[in-house]
Amino acid sequence: METRPAFDEIMGLSGDKPPRPELAALGRWLENTSGDELRRRQESAEAAFRQLGITFAVYGETEAAERIIPFDIVPRVFLHEEWTRLSEGLVQRVEAINAFLDDIYGEQRILSEGVLPADLVLTNPQFRPEIAGMRPPHGVWAHICGIDLVRTGPDDFFVLEDNARTPSGVSYMLENREAMLRLCPELFRSYRVEAVDSYPDRLLETMKSVAPRGTGTPVCVVLTPGHYNSAYYEHSFLADSMGVELVEAADLEVDDDIVWMRTVAGRVRVDVIYRRVDDDYLDPLVFRPDSMLGVPGLIAAYAAGNVAIINAPGNGIADDKAIYSYMPEIVRFYSGGEVKLPNVETWRCREPEALRYTLDHLGELVVKLVDGSGGYGMLVGPTASRDEVERFRAALIAEPHRYIAQPTLALSTVPTLTDTGVSPRHVDFRPFVLTGANGVQVVPGGLTRVALKEGSLVVNSSQGGGTKDSFVLVPDGPVQNMGPSGMTQTMGGMRQEQN
């Protein structure tokens, strides 16, 4: 289907041996480990995930079967310098997202200066007038961002989507690493890999940093919709690893504009809520009145400055697909500098010329619903059937404002274990970026999603995608000495940093 060869992140542009010099050891590992052995390890990892209950529900399937997301045993590796450059772009982008939210629910300078079409924000369902004029503690809105990236070359990263609401997937980052440490310890002897297991501590520090009260030890909780939610495992996992309470709405109450947690020992004041409940369900007095998942009065407590909500309500406007295409302008507006991490080129079909271009090139483009997610409502031109293309053509003509179009990129590949041995598969990447009162940090790792079908570019787990561990190498690069002296040890799944 593709005209250009994809960049393989291990093997390089040649797509064939030898691998990129920095990753020679990984190439040797792939060559020297039999397919059966790789498969045995992969199955062992998946068995562990199943036991833990790391499952997801597929939307639109009648039998709400919970599946595990397939795990691939071959890691993806970022060199230290690659990661450094990428991180700078991520920090710039997330700083801009926070500044944008602060502005759009406040002064709206970006609208009055004409950088964005005002109607795109003001009439956008993701802009929530219900919380206009309210400001989160310390001015931080998007405490946890998952920025979805694709790559086409060694230093060519593009943002596909910003996730500034409640990005999920961080439990995969952590569990995948645990599995790799347990099942492939030899790789951690070849490469010094940045640890990701500090994520829960970093998240807790981020939460504490935005607590509204300056004194004492802030009380933080994770608010879940409940055990039937597809990401419940992640909710309980995060609460557990941070050592904070996992609560449902019924465990919280608001009195006198203060949020309290009911405990057997009485009420405890809550300062910070990491909510995994959507805005619509957060407070039945302000949003959907039929919500059973929310806490009546929560928005009043928030408006009074008595609680931090992570991420802040109203963030959907920052990761809306219609806004996405303006992100380069948004980043420039708030950072005052050039954009370090570009968008994928995007045609806004609401604009007549873009629509014409899209209709003329449907066979080459990816067309997406502005308000869709999870790979639904999406046309991948090069692999679509004639019928699908014609269906999208009709839909585009009928409601052009609902669509954007992007080129089909030659997404990078990573060697992946398949039924017929190890072969390249397309990947994307979701790094997690934390913003607290003291600034922005990028967690050195993330969630690599892989399209398991040959040639497929759709990595969504709901569409048959899998995940991989993502290594970020520490500055020294590969460990030359494979002997015991330079070894990174693994013990009980925990990595001991070498000295």
Residues that bind another protein (CB under 8 A): 108, 111, 118-119, 122-123, 125, 127-134, 253-257, 284-286, 289, 296-297, 300, 303-304
Q: What is the dihedral of CA 284, 272, 91, 330, to 10 degrees?
A: 30
Least distance to another protein from the beta carbon of 121, Å?
9
Encoding tokens for residue 110? 């970006």
Least distance to another protein from the beta carbon of 100, Å?
16
Structure-token match 């004409």, residue found:
114
Please give the Cα distance from 176 to 193 (Å, whole number): 14
Identify which of residues 252 and 422 has a Cβ nearer to another protein in the complex: 252
Identify which of residues 200 and 313 has a Cβ nearer to another protein in the complex: 313
Closest CA to 119 of 127, 405, 105: 127
Please give the Cα distance from 352 to 196 (Å, whole number): 46
Identify which of residues 67 and 269 has a Cβ nearer to another protein in the complex: 269
Identify which of residues 47 and 292 has a Cβ nearer to another protein in the complex: 292
Burial of 307 (0-12, 13-18, 19+ CB in 10 A): buried
Least distance to another protein from the beta carbon of 352, Å?
19
Least distance to another protein from the beta carbon of 290, Å?
11
Identify which of residues 102 and 130 has a Cβ nearer to another protein in the complex: 130
CB 187 within 8 A of CB 77: no
Rounded to an integer, what is the distance from CA 248 to the centroid of its chain?
A: 24
Burial 258-294 (b: 16+ CB within 10 A, else e): bbbbeeeeeeeebbbbbbbbbbebbbbbbbeeebebb
Please give the Cα distance from 55 to 34 (Å, whole number): 29
Identify which of residues 140 and 300 has a Cβ nearer to another protein in the complex: 300
Identify which of residues 323 and 331 has a Cβ nearer to another protein in the complex: 323
Least distance to another protein from the beta carbon of 284, Å?
6
Least distance to another protein from the beta carbon of 106, Å?
9
Least distance to another protein from the beta carbon of 269, Å?
14
What one-character-per-residue DSSP string does 443-479 give?
-S--EEEEE-STT-----GGGTEEEEEEEEEEEEEE-
At residue 228, φ and ψ (nearest 5 deg) are -85, -5
Least distance to another protein from the beta carbon of 135, Å?
12
Identify which of residues 249 and 405 has a Cβ nearer to another protein in the complex: 249
**366 residue type, one letter:** V
